[in-house]
Amino acid sequence: MIKPKQIKEQTFRDRIKGEILEFFRLNEDTAWSLNQVHKAFAVRDRSTKTLYGELLEDLHKNKKIIRQQNGSYIIDTETQFVVGRVDHVNARFAFVIVEDREDDIWVNTRELNGAVDGDTVKVLVFPKGKKGTTRAEGEVVEIIERGRKELVGTIEILPNYAFFTPDAKKIFQDVFISKYDTGEAQNGDKVIIKIMSWAEKERKMEGQVIEVLGKAGENNTEMHAILAEFGLPITFPKAIEDEAEAIPVKISAAEIKKRRDFRETTTFTIDPADAKDFDDALSFTFLENGNYEIGVHIADVTHYVLPETNLEAEAFKRATSVYLVDRVVPMLPEKLSNGLCSLRPNEDKLTFSAVFEITPEAKVVGEWFGRTIIHSDRRFSYEEAQGVLDGEVSNVISEEVQPTEIVAEEPKKKGRKKKTDEVAVIPNFSKELLTLNELAHKLRDERFAKGAVNFETVEVKFNLDENGKPLGIYQKIRKDSHKLIEEFMLLANKKVAEYVFNLRKTEPRNTMVYRTHDAPDPEKLKNFSTFAKRFGYNVQTEVSQISTSFNALMHDVEGKPEQNILENLAVRTMSKAKYSTDPIGHFGLAFPFYSHFTSPIRRYPDMMAHRMLQHYLDGGQPLERAPWEARCKHSSEMEKMAAEAERASIKYKQVEYMSLMEEGKVWEGIISGVTEFGIFVEITETASEGLIRMNDLKDDFYDYDRDNYRIVGQRNGRVFTFGDKLQVKVKECNLGRRSMDLTLVGNDGDGKRKTKPSHRGDSRHKSKSSKSAPRGDRRSKGSEGRDRSKKRDK
C-alpha cells in the first residue's frame, strides 16, 4: 500500500517537474546547463540540486527536452509523436507507415524497442537533420497493438528446448520454445505458434505450438502454412457448411415469375479451362434495327446468401476468395461457389443482370438492370473461344450434354429431345463471338482514347505434378478472348456505378460501393521515369501525358527481357485501387464512376453492390454511409492480404522450381534492384528473383551509390546498375524463406580477397546512403492501377 508520505513526495516532484518544463517552454530558443537552471530557480542546497538534476533527466528520458552534446538542455519544439504500422523491410531497419502522411518514418532496428512487423506503434519523430539526414527518422516509444499473436514457421527441436524460425520474411528473430510447449511437433515440422511473451532487450520472444501443419517442404503443408501466415482460413466451419447444404436447389415457379426470363436467349460463359465457379455469362441477340442486345448476367449470390445469416457473416469475414498456385480457397462454400451460383451450361440459373442495347459502333443506347433467370447454352474455355475467333474451331461434340438433350444452332426449343442415336452437338456461336470481339476492340479503343492506362502484367503459371512439384514455369499470354470478357465486365461495372450515382440528382446522393483509384504520386512517377530511361525508354511524368506515355511503353517492352520488370514497376508506381463510398473515380480506367458488380462468388464488395443496386431499383432512400464505408475498408484490407498470400505461393514455387534445376546451369537475368547489401536479379526465363550478395562479388570492393541506383568497384570501376543484363548461377535456394542466392558468372576474381583499407573499419562495402534504392520489395505500398486480366479479377 502506498503511504501518504510517498504520495505527497510524488506530488511535489510532479509539481517541480511541471515548473521546469514550463520554464523551458517560456525560453524555447535558449539552451540551459544544469547550473544555469539551478541559478534560475535560486536552488542552493545540495539535496535540491540533486532533485533538479534527476527531474531534468526524467524530462529528457520522456522526450520532453533535449540534452545536447555539451550537456545543456533545450525544449524540443520540433519533435512529434505519430501512430503508424511497422513495415520491417530488412534486418537493419524498418519503416513506420502513417496514414495520411506522405513520407514514411525510418527506424533503426535497435530503436524498434520490441516492435515487430505489422505492429501498430507510437513513434517519436526526430527533427529532420538531427542525425545528419534529411529523411524522417524516429524511435518506437510505445507498442499500441500487436499485429499478430500467432506465427507460422519451422521448428527445430533440441534435447531441452526448441527454436522456431518464422516463415514471414519480415520477422527477423527466432522464437524460443520450452520443451513443454512443443506439443506433438517433430523436428523439422511446419507449425503455428502462439506468442506467449515478446522480446525485451536481450530476451527472445517465447512461444507455444498450437497446431502442427505437417512436414516442412511438402506441398500441402507449405500452402497451408502460407494461408496461416497471412491469417487466412483453410476450411469452412461445419455450421457454415450445414447452412449452405440446407439451401433448396429447386427454383420455384413463383421466383421465376419475379424475374426477366432469358432462357430462350443465346447465352454462354467463357472461363479458364480449370475453372469451376462461373460467375458471369453473356447473352446475345441481333436486333431488327441493326443493333445488338447484350446481357451481362452475374450469379445472383445475394438471393441465396441473406443478411443476418452465418453465411453472410463468413462471406464478409473472408471478403474474397484466395488464389494460390495450386488451389482456390473460396469465399463461399462449394455448394454455392461451384453449384447453386455457378452458371453451368444446360441448367437454369438465377442471375442479376445488366442488359445493354449497343450499336455496331459500340455506343450504348439503352440499358436495363434487374434480376433474371438464364440457361447457358455452352461453356467455353478461353482457349476454345480464341479458337473460334481465330477460325480454328467448328461445332464440337459435347461431353457435358446428357444423351436425352440436343442443342441446335437455331434458338433452342425447351423440351426438344434427341433420338438415342443422335450425337449431342454444341454450336460455336461464331457470329456472336466475332461481333462481341469487334465491339470489345472498339470499347477498348475508346477507353484508351479517354486516358485509360494499359497495364498487362505478365502472369506466372506453373505445370505441377500430382504432388504439387513444379515441372515447368510459363508466362500466360492474354489474347482477344480474355480481353473480350474483360471489356464487357468493365462496361457492366461502369454502368452500374453511373446508374446508382445519377439516379438521385440532389444531396444526399445514393451511397454506393465504388472501386476507386487515385492519380499516381508525382515523386513515384519521377523515380519510375528515371528507371525506364536506364532501359532506353522515355516516360512522361505530366498527369496529362501519363496514359499515352505508359501505353507506349507497354507496347514497346512487349516480348523483351525487361518486360516483366518494367510492367511490375509501372503498376507499383500507380496508387493502390481500393473500395470506398466516395466516388472519386478510377484513374487507371479513366472512368468517373466504377464499381465491382461482376464477381459476387469471389468478392464481397460485389455482393454489397448487388444489395445496394436492388435497394435503389426498389425506390429506396440513400443508405447510411458509415457502415458501408467500414465494410469497404475491411474488403480492401482482405484483398491486400489475399494478394500477398498469392505472391508468396508463386515465390515459393519459383524457388522450389529453381532448386530442382541442374546444378551450375547459367541463367540470363536483369538487375531489378541494387542495395547496400547486394544486387537483385530477375531471371528472365522464370521471372524468379534472387540476390547476389556483396560478399560474393569477389573481384573488388564495391561502394553503393544510391543516388544513381548502382554499385561501383573501388579499383576496377566496374558498375552494376538497374536494368543491366547479367549471367548468373544459383548458389542456394531457401524454401523456408522463399529466397534464392545467386552468384555472378565470371566473377571469381583471383581467388584471394583483398585486405580492406584500415580507414574503412569493419564494414566490407561502403554505402553512400543507409537507405536502399527502391525495388518494389515493400509490396504493401504497391498499386493496382487496373482490374487485372485474370478471369477471377473481372
Dump pLDDT digits (tens) for 155-187: 999 999 999 999 988 899 999 999 999 999 999
CA distance 403 to 421: 9
| Multiple choice CATH, 150-216, 2.60.40.10, 3.40.50.10490, 1.10.357.10, 2.40.50.700 | 2.40.50.700
**Three cell numbers written together for 783:** 498499386
pLDDT for residue 66? 82
Query: Which CATH number is 661-780's, of 3.40.50.620, 3.90.550.10, 2.40.50.140, 2.60.120.10?
Result: 2.40.50.140
Paired with 199 in beta bridges are none
What pTM, to 2 d.p., does this model score? 0.80
Q: Nearest-CA neighbor of 702 among 679, 680, 681?
A: 679
In total, the chain counts a number of residues equal to: 794
**DSSP 3-state assignment of 682?**
strand
* Identical fold between 4-75 and 661-780: no
Instruction: Using the CB atoms, write b or e for 223-259: b if 16+ within 10 Å.
Output: bbbbbbbbebeeebeeebbebbeebeeebeeeeeeeb
Cell, residue 647: 505472391
At 307 the pLDDT is 96
pLDDT for the residue 133: 61
3-state SS assignment for residue 225 = helix
- The SS3 assignment for 169 reads coil
Cα(530)–Cα(453) distance, integer angstroms: 19
Options 2.40.50.140, 2.60.40.10, 1.10.357.10, 2.40.50.1070; which CATH number does 80-145 get?
2.40.50.140
Predicted local distance difference test score (pLDDT) of residue 769: 41
Pairing of strands 667-675, 725-734: antiparallel
Distances (CA, A) of 282 to 53, 113, 297, 374, 379: 79, 57, 6, 10, 11
Secondary structure class of 257 (helix, strand, coil): helix
How many other C-beta atoms are found inside a 10 Å radius of the C-beta of residue 421? 6
Give how far Cα 230 sits from Cα of 168, 332, 540, 790, Å.
9, 19, 37, 22
pLDDT of residue 125: 85
Element (H, E) at 52: helix 46-61
Q: What are the structural domain ranges in the chain?
A: 4-75, 80-145, 150-216, 238-428, 491-642, 661-780
Cα distance from N-terminal residue to C-terminal residue, the chain:
66
For the chain, which residues score pLDDT lower than 50? 1-2, 396-423, 749-794
Tell me the per-residue pLDDT of 1-55, one tens digit each, with 9 for 90 and over.
445 666 677 888 888 888 898 888 888 778 889 999 998 898 888 888 899 988 9
Query: DSSP class of residue 409?
Result: S
Q: Shortest CA distance to 340 belongs to which of 379, 291, 302?
A: 302
- How far apart, in whole angstroms, are the C-alpha atoms of residue 563 and residue 722? 14
Cell numbers placing 65: 527536452
What number does CATH give the domain 4-75?
1.10.10.10
Is residue 341 within 8 Å of 270, Cβ to Cβ? no
At residue 514, the 3 state secondary structure works out as strand
Residue 411 φ then ψ, to 5°: -50, 135
| 8 Å CB contact between 726 and 681 | yes
SS3 for 133-185, per residue? Answer: CCCCEEEEEEEEECCCCEEEEEEEECCCEEEEEECCCCCCCCEEEEHHHCCCC
Per-residue confidence (pLDDT) for residue 595, from 0 to 100: 98
407/389 Cα distance (integer angstroms): 21
